[in-house]
Amino acid sequence: MTTDTDSRNLTGAQTNAARALLAMVTAFPHLPAPRLRPDVLTPATAEGTHAWGVNVSIHDGLGHFEQWRAALGLDPDAVTAHLDDDFTNWLEVSGTWSGVPVQVIGYFRFTDPGEPQ
């Protein structure tokens, strides 16, 4: 249940995330284009609460994931791998960039060397 005081539901709460998103596009025009969106990230604070941040989703290879992780200064030791039985896999890392929570996700598939690509 949300209330009127729940900041996740206030348009103004998105302002910092939107500014950070614009700053990313401006600061890193040379990087591969990811899908960028303001989003409520969970948990995004040291207290474990939700906060507006920027989700950076990469679908074009793990090299692009690594470029964005490094550009945003996110700790490589904080990267977690999620491996699913249906071959949808992803790497994920969260942190803070310009004072705003960020989450970088790189999707990938393992391929069978015997299967045509």
Residue of 101, 91, 84 lying closest to 39 (CA atoms): 101
10-residue stretch averages of pLDDT, the chain, 117 residues long: 54 87 97 95 72 94 95 96 82 94 91 58
pLDDT in tens, 32-65: 999 999 999 876 556 777 889 999 999 988 999 9
Q: Give the per-residue SS3 of the chain.
A: CCCCCCHHHCHHHHHHHHHHHHHHHHHCCCCCCCEEEEEEECCCCCCCCCEEEEEEEECCCHHHHHHHHHHCCCCHHHCEEEECCCCCEEEEEEEEECCEEEEEEEEECCCCCCCCC
Rg of the chain, C-alpha, whole Å? 16
pLDDT computed for residue 4 by the predictor: 46
Q: For residue 60, what are its two tokens?
A: 């074009």
